[in-house]
Chain A
Amino acid sequence: MNTKYVIAAIVAIVVILGSIAAYVYLSAPGTTETVMLNGSGATFPYPLLNEIITQYVHNIKPNVQVNYQAIGSGGGISDLKNKNVDFAGSDAPLTATESADIPNALHIPETIGAVTVTYNLPGVSSGLKLTGQVLADIFQGTITKWNDPAIQNLNPDVTLPSQSIATVHRSDGSGTTFIFTSYLSKVSTSWSTAVGQGKSVAWPVGIGSNGNAGVASTVAGNQYSIGYVELAYALENDMTMAAIANPSGHYILPTLESTTAAAQAGAATLPAGDASWTGVDLLNMDNAEAYPIVSFTYLLVYKELNVLPNMTQEKATALVQFLWYIVHDGQDLGPDLEYAPLPSNVVQLNEATIQSITFNGQTLSAT
């Protein structure tokens, strides 16, 4: 090899390492001891959580460092069970089996997600009206044409083509699929008998695409297709969205407001933070304004923090204060990133939950 290149490479490496060292040195938080909080789990809330962490670390507590690895809800739950992390993120509440594995886990709703139904129909913009049963029939392959009377009757003013419907679903296991199939199971007996709910299910028909981006691209690229994506993704990318009928018979477009409305309606029946949340959902809420395909995403923490190795009084306090920040000021960061903020009654529930966290039996100051 040419000596000139070797020298250039060495100089480049020295410069890079030097700037990293300088950055680390300059950003070191003075003399205060740094407290490190670790979490892992769901990918859905990651953009919001990442923004909250950045704000918190830069503006509120420079001596706290928070790592969140977006490895998926399943991974987060197993990390919490093995006590590898201080908190976990999950799109679904713990199942009965998981609750038995992680005794005394607290559920803290962190933000609200919704699943939107998107479609590619030339000449038809957002607002196609669909009911849960029709949606289930489309994804089950029993309604096969766009101008099927079941769809046409809901949309008398729309000219629907006599084309086959191509359904698009997520091919990877995902919380989005879990919420969508849970909704279909709830509103359609034929769906719950034949398919059921899960992070991935045995789809009777359709194309599988990877991630929100894959589904969006497949729907965008193929006329007469229909798929489902997560709300924040759909809003950011200006996708067409169907208005779905809620129990009061209103057709509701997915928005941050109609999502929060569902959470507000559901909050009345939520269990306490330390009770079992198995089976809790925000689907098909009985509120005229509420969008029907909505779900919380949760932060999971141990109620008594001394079960975690390396837990200290200082770290426990930092964790409690960080959680407090997420459910209060952190919520203000949501709308800019297309995340629906928690309604006040859920925030109150979270306050009680966070205040019940202890370290060696002592409660911790949350503010």
Chain B
Amino acid sequence: MFLEIQNLKKSYFNGNIETKVLKDLNMSLDKGEIGVILGPSGSGKSTLMNIIGGIDRADGGSVKIDGADITKFNDSHLTNYRRDELGFIFQFYNLVPNLTVGENIEVVANISKSPISIDEVLKAVGILDKKHRFPRELSGGEQQRVSIARAIVKNPKLLLCDEVTGALDYTTSKEILKLIQQINAKYQTTILIITHNTAISAIANRVYWLREGQIVQEKINSEILPAERIEW
């Protein structure tokens, strides 16, 4: 397994009050697969994503990525992991507003060991012509494409997508999902999508249902639908 999570625990404290967000969570994903985690608000999706992404720490359990348990990593190791192996795509894009599209991608390309050419990723996400525009001059869908291009420019082993279609309209959302499938096919990137939209599960190899910090259902899709065929 490329991604293997065992007995993952995480709690938050508000004063003396403990809120258990993840309770002995287990899940896995093979290399090159697309995984979808479904769950309502407050189910622990984002916390899980943050721990896998190495920007938050677990209280217990293990998260193995390609055999290495990142919960044992110190801060410097975690930074190297994020730097070299991970791509992040966010719901609200999180682009640097006063850098152009090309420069936003360059920000990540600069710190990568072997980045893909910026023009190539821009071409791959279909916005090469927008390279010199600023984020505020783009539509939401275009900004999300920039965010995807920024995530894949370092050719990550694992791509984490946090509600990537959450801020987009129906048509644009489908285009973005199609793009994610294309990236998965082209670069063999393992992709984990977190969403509350059940329809998106159709494009995944594996689907996990998360509720109150636990995986309540797991499904391996025998047939994977292309993004343009899914409906919601």
* A and B from one complex: no
B-binding residues in A (CB < 8 A): none
